[in-house]
């Protein structure tokens, strides 16, 4: 088995702190998708979540919802767990007119609000949203902390917000699934990074 990139000639090196775990995932044009899955390779190599302190996901896209609403919820599920109230979440959100601070217990973490494909409702066809998710201390034996930041501009129909969440499980995070109420449009992209601790003093 080859050594990971941060071991050179059997010596730990202090390389880049952010490691791209897989190439950027792009939903193929003409092929909407319901879920994007990021799963640990569990092989001691670059894609193995167990090597990292934190996991960061950077998502860019929109929902296929075509009518009846200008926004959709961006949802995160960990380790195939969605039953019960596994997430405790504090949210701060604004749409340019109203602002709201709320608390919620959730089965899936509603980590953001993203634009839809509802051009009849006023969302321009070329408007997309983004959501950045940071999962902290993913291999610890404690409840996991997480934060998301999201934003989109849709000529008065956009949203910006931040959520702070606790995943109420002590198990290591080995699988992340990203979904929404509708599908994610073709052209949606996701990049995932592992954050390394310092390797040398």
Write out pLDDT tens, residues 163-184: 999 999 999 999 999 999 899 9
pLDDT at 108: 93
How big is the CA angle at 102 (ends 132 and 120), to the nearest 5 degrees?
65
In angstroms, rounded to a whole number, what is the distance separating the alpha carbons of residues 139 and 177? 17
pTM of the prediction? 0.87
Mean pLDDT of all residues in 2-27: 74
Structure tokens at 109: 């973490």
> Which has the closest alpha carbon to 23: 52, 46, 43?
46
Pick the residue with more confidence: 87 or 197? 87
Evaluate the CA torsion angle 96, 93, 158, 59 in order and state its sign.
positive
Structure tokens at 23: 């190439």
pLDDT at 127: 85
Q: φ and ψ at 23, to 5 degrees?
A: -60, 155
Mean pLDDT over the full length of the chain: 87
Pick the residue with more confidence: 33 or 26? 33
pLDDT at 76: 95
pLDDT at 63: 92
DSSP string, 39-50: E---SSSTT-GG
Mean pLDDT of all residues in 15-41: 81
pLDDT at 155: 64
Secondary structure E strands in 80-188: 87-94, 99-106, 109-115, 129-135, 144-152, 159-167, 175-184
3-state class of 51 per DSSP?
helix
pLDDT interval class at 1 (50, 70, 90): very low
pLDDT interval class at 29 (50, 70, 90): low
């Amino acid at each position: 088995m080859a050594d990971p990139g941060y071991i050179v000639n059997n010596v730990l090196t202090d390389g880049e702190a952010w490691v791209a775990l897989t190439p950027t995932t792009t939903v193929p044009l003409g092929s909407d998708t319901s879920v994007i899955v990021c799963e640990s390779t569990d092989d001691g190599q670059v894609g193995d979540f167990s090597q990292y302190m934190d996991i960061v996901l950077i998502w860019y896209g929109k929902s296929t919802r075509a009518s009846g609403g200008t926004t959709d919820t961006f949802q995160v599920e960990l380790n195939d767990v969605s039953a019960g109230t596994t997430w405790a979440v504090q949210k701060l959100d604004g749409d340019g007119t109203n602002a709201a601070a709320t608390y919620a217990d959730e089965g899936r973490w509603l980590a953001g609000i993203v634009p839809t494909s509802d051009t009849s409702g006023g969302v321009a066809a070329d408007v997309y949203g983004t959501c950045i998710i940071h999962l902290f201390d993913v291999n610890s034996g404690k409840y996991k902390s997480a934060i998301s930041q999201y934003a989109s501009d849709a000529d008065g129909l956009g949203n910006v917000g931040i959520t702070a969440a606790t995943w109420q499980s002590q198990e290591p995070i080995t699988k992340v699934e990203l979904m929404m109420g509708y599908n994610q449009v073709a052209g949606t992209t996701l990049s995932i990074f592992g954050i390394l601790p310092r390797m040398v003093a």
